[in-house]
Structure 1
Amino acid sequence: MIIGILRLFVLAFIVMLVVYFILSAWSRSVRRGKLRAEWDEEIREGDREAFVEEGLEDYDQSLRRKLILGVFVVPYMVIGILIYVVNFQ
C-alpha cells in the first residue's frame, strides 16, 4: 500500500514538473510577446531588447509567476483530500 502511494506521488511529481516547465515557458513567451508589442506600439525609443529584459525581470518577481507553482500544490491537495474522504468519511 505504501509503495503504491509513493509510486503515485513520484509519478505525479514528474508529470507536474513537466507541466510546470511547459507552462512556465509558455507564460514567459507570452509575456515577452506582449512586451515587444508594447514597445512597438507605444515606446519606440531606446533599446527594445533592454526594455523586454527589464520587463521579464519584473515578471520573474510577479504574482503570476508564483501562482504557476500551484501546479505542484493543487494536485497533491486534491489527492490528499480524496484519500481522506474515501478512508475516513
Structure 2
Amino acid sequence: MGWLRLAFLMYVGLTIIYFVTGIYSRSVRREKLEKEWDTDPAREGLTVQERSAFIEAGMVQYDKGLKKRLLWLIYIVPTIGFLVTIYFVNWH
C-alpha cells in the first residue's frame, strides 16, 4: 500500500511540474513571437490588432506542435522508471 501513496504523491508533484513547465513554455514561445514581430522592419507601420493576430496565430500553431506534446514526457518517463523499480525490487 505504500507504493500507492508514493505513486499518488508522485503524480501530484508531476502535475504541478507539468503545469508550471507548460506555462513557462508558452511564455517563452509568446515572447519569441513578440520579438520576431518587433525586429521585422517590414511590419513597422502595422497596427496593434495585426500584431495580436500574428501572435495568436503563432500560439495556435504552437498548441498543435511537437513541443506541446513532448510535455507529456513529464508523466511518461517517471512512470516507466517507477514501474521498472517496483518490478526489479519485488520480482528479482
Structure 1, unmatched stretches of 5+, are: none
- Aligned partner of 1:66 in structure 2 is 69
Determine the C-alpha separation between the residues in 1 that align with 2:87 and 2:4: 16
Q: Percent identity?
A: 39
Instruction: Give 1:87 deviation, angstroms.
Output: 2.5
Deviations 1:16-74 (A, max 9, x none): 00000000000000000000000111252451111001100000000100000111111
RMSD: 1.2
Of residues 77, 83, 86, the one that matches 2:86 is 83
Question: Following superposition of structure 1 onto structure 2, how do residues 1-89 of structure 1 map, counting pairs within 5 Å?
Answer: 3-42=1-40, 43-44=42-43, 45-46=46-47, 47-89=50-92
Indicate the larger mover: 16-25 or 34-43.
34-43
Determine the C-alpha separation between the residues in 1 that align with 2:82 and 2:38: 46
Number of equivalent positions: 87
Instruction: Give 1:88 deviation, angstroms.
Output: 2.6
Aligned amino acid, residue 6 of structure 1 = L
Instruction: Give 1:84 deviation, angstroms.
Output: 1.5
Determine the C-alpha separation between the residues in 2 that align with 1:30 and 1:37: 11
Structure 2, unmatched stretches of 5+, are: none
